[in-house]
Amino acid sequence: MLIDESGDLGKYGSSYFTIIALATHNPKHIGRIIKRIRERKLDKKTRKAVEIKANTFSSRLKKYVLSQIARCECAISAVVLLKSKLKDTFYEDKDKLYNYLCGLLFEHISLRTDIIDIVIDKKHSNRLLREDFNQYILSKIQEKSTKIQIRITHLESHASSELQAIDFIAWAVNRKFTHCDSEYYDIIKDKIKNQGKEEVCL
């Protein structure tokens, strides 16, 4: 399972904050999409970029990546927060708010396996904050089943082609809400399991 986000949790900044999870039995298939982009679709200069991000690429390439993901065997869950409705008290601990939103994702995810490998973009250099996230997610999953083995890995996104690929999903979902533009979202909407119920208010 891969987790990434788009937007920010600051009081001032993006209008929406989006977090998505992509569940698949073959994450390497997702990562190969980015590798093919580097090899076949980019010029020599861009090919050497440390990281491929959705917001730096053309509309044509965004649609290509999303269409390739739509062809993969996967399931996407999304949580979209309208920040203008967020009470000021939530901004006092953005890390706990982030953990809570990640926990909401698991309400939409069907856990039909004995082992879950979770790979998430490494947000913190602080080990204690990462451990706090891990413990919270473990507790949310164990509310559904205590028999599932869970492994959580925090990776820098530039070191993971899989995380770079799902950045395009988070971007597409966030754009639908921020700019009322569903052109990109529609490419992968059939993979979104909580389609039409993504937005949450706290």
State the pLDDT confidence band at 16, using cuts at 50, 70 and 90: very high
- Residue 201 domain-assigned? no
What integer pLDDT is reported at residue 52 of this predicted model?
86
The CATH number covering residue 56 comes to: 3.30.420.10
* pLDDT of residue 132 exceeding 90: yes
- Residue 187 domain-assigned? yes
What integer pLDDT is reported at residue 113 of this predicted model?
72
pLDDT digits (tens, 9 = 90+) for 67-107: 999 999 999 999 999 998 888 888 889 999 999 999 998 88
pLDDT digits (tens, 9 = 90+) for 27-42: 999 999 999 988 887 7
State the pLDDT confidence band at 24, using cuts at 50, 70 and 90: very high
| Residues spanned by the domain of 133 | 2-196
- Residue 59 domain-assigned? yes
3-state helix, strand, coil in the chain (%, to 5): 50, 20, 30
Domain count, the chain: 1
Q: With contact defined as beta carbons under 8 Å apart, do 174 and 16 qualify?
A: yes
- Residue 75 domain-assigned? yes
State the pLDDT confidence band at 143, using cuts at 50, 70 and 90: confident
Name the least confident of 70-79, 103-112, 116-125: 103-112
- Residue 97 domain-assigned? yes
- Residue 202 domain-assigned? no
What integer pLDDT is reported at residue 38 of this predicted model?
85
State the pLDDT confidence band at 122, using cuts at 50, 70 and 90: confident
How far the first Cα of the chain sits from its last, in Å, is 25
Q: Please return the burial class of 103, using the count of CB atoms within 10 Å of its CB with bins 0-12, 13-18 and 19+.
A: middle
- Residue 92 domain-assigned? yes
